Amino acid sequence: MTGERARRRRLWIAALATTAVLALIGLAVFAVSQNASGPDTQRSATSSSSAQGPARVGETFPDFALTTADGEQVTAADLRGRDTILWFTTTYCVPCQEGALAYQPVAQQLGSAAPRMLFVFVDPQEPNSALLDFRTRFGLPDWLMALDSDGLAQRASVQVLDTKIFVDENGTVANIDTAPINDAYLDTVRRLSTAA
């Protein structure tokens, strides 16, 4: 009798685990389909230059207007003249926290050549105090923190947390990275920052 009971329990656990996995897959497919920007979502260099569509390497970054947690207005036009990394995240994204800490020494090493950092927080429920705390704990004092009150993540076709978009001094997207920060990404930032 105990052998039969153990077998039923294993089957029940396996059925629950399978159901949970299928539910997660369904949610992931739904999220991706809701954020799809149409048939042309490729992130490669193209010859067109629209400032309204999704962010694509080789194209002008979409227009936006955000207010930082410090109360400053920042727009796409403000990015001109200096390389900028727009980092789409939340304060509770652990890989983003770790990535920010890993990026600090590179920013300090590059000095004045370091890209401006603009963290765009995609959870509208996060208060400014949480954004400022994120900067204190994981960033540098000159890093900009702003809630995505302009729908920028959607217009730029950002689909995952920890998306980093490197925009050059002319406002052109030079790199899009969606993986947690690693040495290869840090090398890319160094290369792009010293390319001018």
**33-61 pLDDT, tens digit each:** 334 333 333 333 333 333 555 788 989 99
Q: Please give the tally of structural domains in the chain.
A: 2
Per-residue pLDDT of 88-131, as tens digits, reads: 999 999 999 999 999 999 999 999 999 999 999 999 999 999 99
List, for residues 130-171, the tens digit of each pLDDT value: 999 999 999 999 999 999 999 999 999 999 999 999 999 999
Residue 111 lies in a domain: yes
> Do 103 and 172 fall into the same domain?
yes
Domain match, 185 and 95 both: yes
Claim to verify: residue 15 and residue 100 sit in the same structural domain: no
Instruction: Flag whether 57 is in a domain.
Output: no
Asked whether residue 126 falls in the same domain as residue 86, the answer is yes
Reply yes or no on whether the pLDDT at 25 is more than 80. no
Tell whether 146 is covered by a domain.
Answer: yes
What secondary structure, in 3-state letters, does the chain show? Answer: CHHHHHHHHHHHHHHHHHHHHHHHHHHHHHHHHHHCCCCCCCCCCCCCCCCCCCCCCCCECCCCEEEECCCCEEEHHHHCCCCEEEEEECCCCHHHHHHHHHHHHHHHHHHHHCCEEEEEECCCCCCHHHHHHHHHHHCCCCCEEEECCCCHHHHCCCCCCCEEEEECCCCEEEEEECCCCCHHHHHHHHHHHCCC
